[in-house]
DNA sequence: ACATAATGTCATGTTTACTTTACATTGTGA
DNA sequence: TCACAATGTAAAGTAAACATGACATTATGT
């Protein structure tokens, strides 16, 4: 599973830490997901999509 | 998090067990998700959306 | 060059998605 | 009614998402 989190974050010009606060997770979680270390939970994915005003499929790519 | 899995399953007229086999998870996992016992992983959500030819947001509802 | 912000990374622990096994209940067709 | 398919449920274990704390590396501005 890949993602374009870094791009969406760049669009809003916010840091990993700022996004982490908005999502109510830690900076390490954002960093790990962004670097593909593991996938987000569906709840976090929904939260991100809502924050970036897009769909989950716009951020995360399955296969 | 709510979902309309039961409806999508009804549309395709398949059992929990058949869906489980398609998704490569157990029947209990499908049952638990359908009954709201816990949320699917984002991978499983993607797999379901692909199977039902819709978006994740068409099946799962956040808040 | 230096300070500091941002990001990368690692170890340890908790929570939750998911498995396995097993049994109970409900629906359905003959 | 009776067999059996489908669904509900529960205990115990595994795997992966996420937390916490700590430290290292890489930007970036002055």
Average pLDDT of the segment spanning A33-50: 98
Q: How far is A42 from chain B (nearest CA, A)?
A: 5
The number of folded domains in chain B is 1
Give residue A3's pLDDT band: very low, low, confident or very high (50, 70, 90): very high
Q: What is the CATH number of the domain that holds B52?
A: 1.10.260.40
Chain A partners within 8 Å of B62 (Cβ)? 43, 46-47, 50
Q: Which of B42, B57, B62 sits opposite A60 (nearest CB)?
A: B42
* Phi-psi category of residue B24: left, alpha or beta, with phi > 0 → left and psi -120 to 50 → alpha: left
User: What is the per-residue pLDDT across B4-56, written as a single tens digit (0 to 9) for each?
Assistant: 999 999 999 999 999 999 999 999 999 999 999 999 999 999 999 999 999 99
* E strand intervals along B1-63: 2-3, 60-61
Q: Is the pTM of this model over 0.75?
A: yes
B43: tokens are 């991978």
- Domain of residue A40 covers 2-61
Instruction: Check A1 against B43: CB less than 8 A apart.
Output: yes
């Amino acid at each position: 599973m890949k993602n374009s989190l870094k791009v969406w974050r760049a669009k809003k010009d916010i840091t990993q830490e700022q996004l982490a606060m908005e999502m109510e997770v830690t900076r390490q979680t954002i960093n790990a997901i962004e670097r593909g270390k593991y996938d987000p939970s569906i709840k976090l994915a929904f939260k991100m999509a809502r924050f970036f005003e897009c769909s989950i499929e716009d951020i995360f790519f399955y296969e």
